[in-house]
A and B are shown apart, each in its own frame.
Chain A
Amino acid sequence: MSTLVFIDRADAELSAQALTFARGLGDELHAALMGEAAASAPDDLAAYGVSVAHIAEGVDPYAPAAWAQAIVELVERTAPAAVVGPGTDRGNEVLAHVAARIDQPMAANCVSLTPGDPATLTRVRWGGSLLEEARLHGAPMLVTVAPHAVTAETVAPGSAPATVSASPFTPALSDADLVVQVSERAGALAAGVSLTDAEVVVSGGRGVGSAAGFEVIEELAGLLGGAVGCSRAVTSAGWRPHTDQVGQTGTKISPEIYIACGISGATQHMAGCKGAKKLLAINPDGEASIFASADYAVIGDLHEIVPAISAEIRKARSG
């Protein structure tokens, strides 16, 4: 039996992870690609073990129900053992529509899946702070893959399919499938160094005390060419916009170093900064739970320590 992987063209890396995750589940790996952007895709798919690329035409721009309907057609035609998507916004959305349409269970953000009757799987809860082992009583198995649960790997040279056979098709859509469709792509609102891509993030929590208190955080972030982040306590108080929030319901970051000032280390905050290579925490409370995940600790008042660090950087640079 085949496994069908939904490719989210907006996120090549997570789609490659989904292909890697799906490879062992069936005999043949098929990919489902959507719209015009798919035309150039098939070549690089062979390296991930894909033998057939189904290309749905006439589904641009993004329309979640239409994309799902295209996959439902493929499910009916090719009877895959599993349909796998990346754990991106669109991956989760399209797979959920597929699940609703064929009335089957679906598991989002899986880190492992073992076929069987029933299939068993492990999936992520609480934004990654907790794992769940579960049984999936359905066919085909419908799952998305948690971001970075597996590393994207191409198949061993020689065992890759020689070619990917491209199989274009035009799904039969109803008007209702196209009611929700992107009508316009607008520019991003935020300016400056983006939190997601920043090499350095200096973040403040409730311990900063006020909106004005963030001046010292901004100064240090500026000196290091980094971005300013914050905790939810800060956005709830209206001190910073939500675009600065790091965490489960904020932005997930992966800087070289994360400097967390006046943040206690709630699991929902840590869910957003697990990807940081190094974590430096500044907090007067030696028992604060953030220290359990930190590489470096400075104990004390951020309003004394952060300006001292900025001054020391200036001294080092002028000397």
Chain B
Amino acid sequence: MNVLVCVKRVPLTGGKIVLTEDERAISTRHLGFTISPHEECGAEEAIRLVEAYGGTSTVLTLGPPEAEEQLRDMMAIGVDRAIHLVSDGGEWDPQATAAAIAAAIRAQPASPDLILFGNESADAGNYQVAIRVAHALGLPCVTGVKGLSVEGGAVRCEQEVPGGRDLYEVPMPAVVTVKEGLNLPRYPSVPGRLRAKRKPVEALSPERPDPLLEMVRLVLPPGSGKRAEVLGRGPEAAPAVVGVLRELGLV
């Protein structure tokens, strides 16, 4: 079976987010880049399904030229090939993103049986690109999946909901969005990294339409304004900690 997974390059912010001067992006001068943990689980699942049933796994991203790094990362853990929709680095709104992804999938000679997405992107969190792609391709879509198995021509999905789990069984081809916890993604090996360098990347350059959800600027939420009270250093602080717990009625 052919499985395609969509991932988005995002900065790996540490303990504090710093904005660029024009307040339209996160300052990435000292940062590395990554993808959402949800999407990592999607890539791992694609690899496992192809290991089990044969076929080809493909990773797709819409992003700047540098996003090839994330495609190679996923190929290093075992994805077979990549599609890079190379953007100018500007902000693509979710409608435009979905349209570009749907067009690229439609143009593939071998259409995927399963298209995996993260439940939401790490940075924008629009909660909609997958659903729009599914609608454009006329495919069913299950979201927020934490358990997935393939039986015959159908995919069984498990979703965590308050108080239990909802189960779905959907014929393929289908779109599924996944959450972290679906599996434990593997780490790349050194030979895996070397192999990834030789795997094929198909590059396309879609046009960016005017955004209909138009980001104007980013704003840091007000800080907590807290100043931690130091209760002490080392084990000698234990009585002070218990004092705090006593105030809360816990001891």
Contact = CB atoms under 8 A, between A and B. Distances in A.
Interface of A: 10-11, 62, 64-65, 89, 92-93, 96-97, 99-101, 103-109, 118, 120, 122, 124-138, 144, 176, 179-189, 199-200, 224-225, 232, 235-236, 238, 241-243, 245, 248-250, 256-257, 264-268, 278, 280-281, 288-301, 304-305, 307-309, 311-313, 316-317
A298 B17 contact: no
B108 interface: no
Contacts of A224: 245, 250
B135 A97 contact: yes
A80 to B, nearest CB: 18
B241 A298 contact: yes
Given A266-B14, A300-B234, A134 B213 contact: yes
Interface stretch (B64-72, B80-88, B120-128, B197-205): B120-128
7 contacts: A93-B127, A96-B127, A105-B213, A136-B213, A188-B163, A267-B16, A290-B15
Kindly list the 3 A-B residue pairs having the minimum CB-CB distance in the complex, ordered from nearest. Answer: A289-B15, A242-B181, A308-B235
A179 B180 contact: no
B170 interface: yes
A313 B158 CA distance: 41
A123 to B, nearest CB: 8
Contacts of A135: 213-214, 216
Given A105-B93, A108-B125, A183-B167, A292 B162 contact: no
A182 B234 contact: no
B235 A108 contact: no
Nearest to A250: B180
B215 A132 contact: yes
Interface string B206-245: 0000011111111111011010111111111111011011
B180 A299 contact: no
A105 B228 contact: no
Interface stretch (B45-53, B54-62, B141-149, B188-196): B141-149
A83 B173 CA distance: 31
Contacts of A304: 234-235
Residue from the set B36, B159, B170, B213 with the largest chain A CB neighbour count within 10 Å: B213
B45 to A, nearest CB: 14
A299 to B, nearest CB: 5
A183 B221 contact: no
A278 B245 CA distance: 10
Interface in B130-161: 131-132, 134-136, 138, 140-144, 158-161
Contacts of B128: 92, 96, 99-100, 106, 108
Nearest to B223: A292
A221 B78 CA distance: 39
Nearest to B179: A249
A237 B144 CA distance: 23
A308 B127 CA distance: 45
A142 B178 CA distance: 24
A176 B161 CA distance: 24
A315 to B, nearest CB: 8
A232 B140 CA distance: 31
B17 A126 contact: yes
A245 B245 contact: no
A106 B213 contact: yes
A267 B213 contact: no
A186 B213 contact: no
Nearest to B182: A242
A100 B101 CA distance: 14
B245 A243 contact: no
B29 interface: no
A297 B230 contact: yes
Residue from the set B17, B159, B214, B241 with the largest chain A CB neighbour count within 10 Å: B241
Contacts of B28: none
B212 A138 contact: yes
B180 A242 contact: yes
Interface in B72-100: 93-95, 98
Contact of A137 (B167, B180, B214): B214
Residue from the set A264, A293, A297, A298 with the largest chain B CB neighbour count within 10 Å: A298
B95 to A, nearest CB: 6
Contacts of B123: 125-126
Contacts of B38: 249
Given A267-B16, A297-B228, A299-B230, A126 B122 contact: yes
